Amino acid sequence: MKLIVIGSGGREHMIIKKLKENPEVEKIYALPGNGGIADLAECVAVSATDIEGITAFAVEHAVDYAVVTPDDPLALGAVDALNAVGIPCFGPVQKAAVIEASKSFAKDLMRRYNIPTAAYEVFDDMDAALAYIKTSALPIVIKADGLALGKGVVIAETREDAEQAVRSMMADKAFGDAGSRVVVEEYLEGPEVSVLTFTDGKTLVPMVSSMDHKRALDGDKGLNTGGMGAIAPNPFYTKEIAEESMNTIFLPTIRAMEAEGREFRGCLYFSLMLTKDGPKVIEYNCRFGDPETQAVLPLLESDLLTIMMKVTEGTLKPEDVVFREGASCCVILASAGYPGKYEKGFPIAIEDSVKDRVIVAGAALKDGVLVTNGGRVLGVIGLGSTVKEAVADAYSQAEHVSFENAFCRKDIGQKAIQEG
Ligand code: AMP
Ligand code: GLY
């Protein structure tokens, strides 16, 4: 089989690694891929948001199956476009991807179908939003409605900060059109859990749970990033909470989407807060998480391509998805300065002994040498029978990878280890 995978991050590198385990796969094209992916797939210089370019390429090369993982092409209708030219895809169609692309859609869906989430109001008018936050409880959470690279969320401790967040999104357009509408919501407290699931629209099978580490610095300090590391499984997510989440959140969500004529097929990712009143949805994502995927997929025992194709066909069964016991950790090595300004172009040295544990995100090949080319450069995977072992393994593997100006968080997994 010939496949195309759309995207260029560590998540895509991990997915391609798993897809390659299937002996039926003869060739993978990554559009556009990255310097690390180039070892496994042919990287083609077509941007992930160039929907016409993607479909033209897929038709020209007679690909059998496509995997679309980033949020932008999904929101732009990449799956619809590929389906229209007869290419089956893993990923939701545009009208289902809206569950991530519009936070107000997602919140209204949860309200209509009684799915637990933070109380909220939606505003298209800045003065109304400003009036509302004058009397709301603090802290208060302000979110840009549209896609904002994970950066469109402000947790305001004071009224001044809340007002500034609303003005910067709605008047100064800090996130472009994504902020013309804002969602203002109640602040929730509790441990966070990421649950990625496979669903064919009717059957939903959760993957092993995980925990992201979004802030740049140790102790959850510093700015929000795309994610500085992840562990799986997440010890806060007990069997009881998993069962409750399935009944009050996961199944009601896919049924709601079906009832709305927006059947969701793909990876539906639930970002949950485990509050004292039970699990609540922080947000939905219409795709695999990054870097959660790099911690979750190493524990997947079943064949990824088989699962994906069953999702596409609508024949998914719970027994198709088997995870092995044990734990995994992904530590991200980033460029100094990230998520602010950083330099690029430094050669990356990876010792042979750890090559199969390195998942590349922001790196390019320059004259045959892998060089840094992004904020989050690569992830190092650790494995073990417990999270503690997996974390220790990840940091010890990371000692065999180096580039100038590298930094990483030193405390990935610590909260999970303390929980046990
Ligand atoms: P999101 O992009 O919606 O996942 O939000 C980014 C981060 O902001 C989340 O991972 C949470 O840590 C935090 N967050 C979002 N919504 C809330 C909320 N209602 N209460 C507390 N924290 C939140
Ligand atoms: N890890 C957060 C995300 O993928 O959105």
**Position 414, amino acid:** Q
- What is the per-residue pLDDT for 148? 77
- Based on the fold, state whether residues 196 and 308 are members of the same structural domain: yes
- Based on the fold, state whether residues 200 and 299 are members of the same structural domain: yes
Check if the beta carbon of residue 394 is closer than 8 Å to that of residue 329: yes
Q: What is the CATH classification number for the domain harbouring 237?
A: 3.30.470.20
Beta partners for residue 333, in sequence order: 378
Check if the beta carbon of residue 46 is closer than 8 Å to that of residue 31: yes
Name the residue with the closest Cα to ligand 2, atom 3: 289
- What is the per-residue pLDDT for 371? 98
Name the residue with the closest Cα to ligand 1, atom 15: 282
Q: Which ligand has its closest atom nearest to the C-alpha of 107?
A: 1
172 burial type by CB count under 10 A (0-12 exposed, 13-18 middle, 19+ buried): exposed
pLDDT of the chain, 420 residues: tens digit per residue: 999 999 999 999 999 999 999 999 999 999 999 999 999 999 999 999 999 999 999 999 999 999 999 999 999 999 999 999 999 999 999 999 999 999 999 999 999 999 999 999 999 999 999 999 999 999 999 999 888 766 788 899 999 999 999 999 998 888 888 878 999 999 999 999 999 999 999 999 999 999 999 999 999 999 889 899 999 999 999 999 999 999 999 999 999 999 999 999 999 999 999 999 999 999 999 999 999 999 999 999 999 999 999 999 999 999 999 999 999 999 999 999 999 999 999 999 999 999 999 999 999 999 999 999 999 999 999 999 999 999 999 999 999 999 999 999 999 999 999 987
- What is the per-residue pLDDT for 189? 95
Residue 356 lies in a domain: yes
**Position 295, amino acid:** A
Q: What is the CATH classification number for the domain harbouring 376?
A: 3.90.600.10
Q: What is the CATH classification number for the domain harbouring 16?
A: 3.40.50.20
Domain interval for residue 384: 327-419
Total of domains in the chain: 4
Ligand 2 pocket, Cβ-based, cut-off 6 angstroms: 150, 212, 227, 285, 289-290, 292
- Based on the fold, state whether residues 260 and 355 are members of the same structural domain: no
- What is the per-residue pLDDT for 174? 83
